[in-house]
């Protein structure tokens, strides 16, 4: 995933436009207004709205990885903003196969970070890590990133911790039996 300055700057503008428009794709005009430039400038930088989405997601991935490195549940307003933006890319990926392709790379990274967290927390080896457990926790995390559903990060962390414990226990039970 390559990033460049217009894409990195546009992450913030794209996010602000998403914040105003909700999870549907904001118009070029809305993104340009937030970026303090014209829609034609965005087209000159990116070539198309689809390319803007792809490159913005690539640049966002760098920031999102940094956010997740401090904890899987957002705990600051900036982290919550990034979580909302991450969920917006889920919506864009439904209608744009190129965004979906870049998002798939981000999902692999998210699941890798979940797996690493599980291995640290439960003293598991990579061989003991069940990909299905990681996939279930990833799905749960995506729902917990929506702060409108879980506005209290401590409640979200508690739910995630209990789910992880239950999944790891059930995995241990199935391996022993």
CATH of residue 68:
1.10.357.10
Cα distance between residue 55 and residue 50, in whole Å = 9
Length of the chain: 177
Tokens of 55: 């490159």
Cα(151)–Cα(95) distance, rounded to whole angstroms?
Answer: 28
As a whole number of angstroms, the distance between CA 28 and CA 26 comes to 7
Q: Which domain holds residue 102?
A: 5-176
Per residue of the chain (177 residues), what is the pLDDT tens digit?
444 556 556 767 777 776 666 555 678 888 888 888 899 999 998 998 888 888 888 888 888 988 899 889 988 888 888 888 888 888 888 878 888 888 998 999 999 999 999 999 999 999 999 999 999 999 999 988 887 777 788 888 888 999 999 888 887 766 555
* Domain count along the chain: 1
Cα–Cα distances (Å) from 109 to 21, 88, 102, 134, in that order, read 27, 17, 11, 12
Long-range pairs, 107-110, Cβ under 8 A, ≥24:
107/138, 109/61, 109/65, 110/68, 110/138, 110/141
């Amino acid at each position: 995933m390559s990033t460049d300055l217009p894409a990195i700057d546009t992450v913030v503008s794209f996010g602000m436009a998403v914040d105003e428009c909700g999870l549907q794709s904001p118009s070029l005009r809305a993104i340009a207004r937030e970026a303090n430039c014209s829609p034609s400038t965005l087209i000159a930088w990116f070539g198309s709205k689809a390319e803007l989405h792809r490159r913005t997601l690539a640049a966002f991935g760098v920031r999102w990885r940094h956010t997740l490195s401090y904890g899987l549940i957002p705990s600051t307003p900036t982290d919550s903003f990034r979580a909302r933006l991450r969920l917006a890319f889920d919506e864009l990926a439904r209608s744009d196969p190129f965004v979906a392709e870049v998002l798939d790379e981000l999902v692999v990274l998210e699941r890798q970070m979940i797996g690493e967290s599980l291995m640290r927390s439960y003293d598991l080896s990579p061989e003991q890590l069940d990909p299905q457990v990681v996939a279930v926790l990833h799905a749960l995390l995506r729902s917990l990133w929506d702060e409108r559903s879980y506005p209290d990060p401590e409640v979200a962390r508690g739910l995630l911790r209990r789910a992880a414990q239950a999944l790891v226990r059930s995995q241990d039970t199935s391996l022993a039996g």
